[in-house]
């Protein structure tokens, strides 16, 4: 079976790096994306259990300025993934090198800041299609290239990626078995980061913005029962700055009778030190659903 798996991989993607870790392998692959019209990298942690059979898969979405390397090297997720037999996929956060005027002008828009939307503005709509990349193209590549049980997949993320995880989950009822987030941008239509990104990628019609806002999407969610876990550091500088707005999401969940657990963590900031501290909890949260 292993020979068949790796034969398929060579046909679909190119291996960039490989390191043995906790009995499995942390790898990075690249492929030519049809959605984004550029080469994309993504991290893959293959636990030891992947040597002998298919495993559930957990997608991670990173935050502003990140590449796939931030999660691979800083999140401390591999030990728990090996314990629970879960494959973790960690893609880049945006297209790169598309030669779009202005794509390198700021850290919170353009390169490294795809916001997991499908852009509709002319300048960006050809390449900036991270929503379709994450929910359609990347799973197709992963399912055809790795020993993945495609019926058992979940999603989580951080900050901009936490926003991405929540909207991917809420817009696709039943596609993902569970969702969690660290310090997500919960209500982007009402925060400076989201307003900048959405006006640039989606235009001035704010009604269209609501289709990528978790606090709006949860109000009309109709699907299987949900189990949402969010961790938020109390010392996160972006919390008082009004960028994250977790209370807005909790209020929307309460209004819609959608269960959510928001854990406010004393003394923790917005960094990977915070995420690494609670990563085992999140993987255990997903394992409960992925292994059911």
| Catalytic sites, residue numbers | 159, 236, 270
Cα–chain-centroid distance for residue 138?
A: 12
**C-alpha dihedral sign at 258, 201, 111, 10:** positive
Cα–chain-centroid distance for residue 45?
A: 15
**Residue 277 burial by Cβ neighbours in a 10 Å radius (0-12, 13-18, 19+):** middle
Judge contact between 57 and 175, C-beta under 8 A.
no
Token digits of residue 87? 């494959």
* Short-list 222, 231, 291, CA closest to 261: 231
How many residues are present in the chain?
292
What is the separation, in whole angstroms, between the first and last Cα of the chain?
24
Strand partners, 28: 17, 43
| Cα separation, 227 vs 225, whole angstroms | 7
């Amino acid at each position: 079976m292993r020979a068949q798996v790796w034969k398929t991989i060579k046909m679909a993607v190119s291996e960039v790096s490989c390191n043995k870790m906790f009995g499995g392998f942390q790898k990075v692959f690249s492929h030519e994306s049809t959605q984004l019209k550029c080469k994309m990298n993504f991290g893959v942690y293959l636990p030891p259990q992947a040597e002998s059979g298919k495993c559930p898969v957990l997608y991670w979405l990173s935050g502003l300025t990140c590449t796939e390397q931030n999660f691979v090297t800083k999140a401390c997720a591999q030990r728990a993934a090996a314990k629970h037999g879960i494959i973790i996929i960690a893609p880049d956060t945006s297209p790169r090198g598309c030669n779009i005027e202005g794509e390198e002008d700021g850290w919170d828009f353009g390169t490294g800041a795809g916001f997991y939307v499908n852009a509709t503005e002319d300048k960006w709509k050809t390449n900036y299609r991270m929503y379709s990349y994450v929910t359609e193209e990347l799973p197709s590549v992963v399912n055809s290239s790795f020993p993945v049980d495609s019926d058992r997949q979940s999603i989580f993320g951080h900050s901009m990626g936490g926003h991405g995880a929540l909207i991917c989950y809420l817009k696709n009822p039943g596609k993902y078995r569970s969702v969690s987030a660290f310090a997500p941008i919960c209500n982007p239509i009402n925060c400076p980061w989201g307003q900048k990104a959405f006006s640039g990628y989606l235009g001035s019609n704010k009604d269209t913005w609501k289709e990528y806002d978790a606090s709006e999407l949860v109000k009309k969610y109709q699907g299987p029962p949900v189990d949402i876990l969010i961790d938020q550091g109390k010392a996160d500088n972006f919390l008082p700055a009004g960028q994250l707005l977790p209370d807005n999401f909790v209020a929307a969940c309460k209004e819609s009778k959608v269960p959510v657990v928001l854990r406010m963590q004393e003394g923790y900031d917005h960094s990977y030190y915070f995420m690494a501290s609670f990563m085992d909890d999140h993987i255990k949260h997903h394992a409960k659903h992925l292994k059911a």
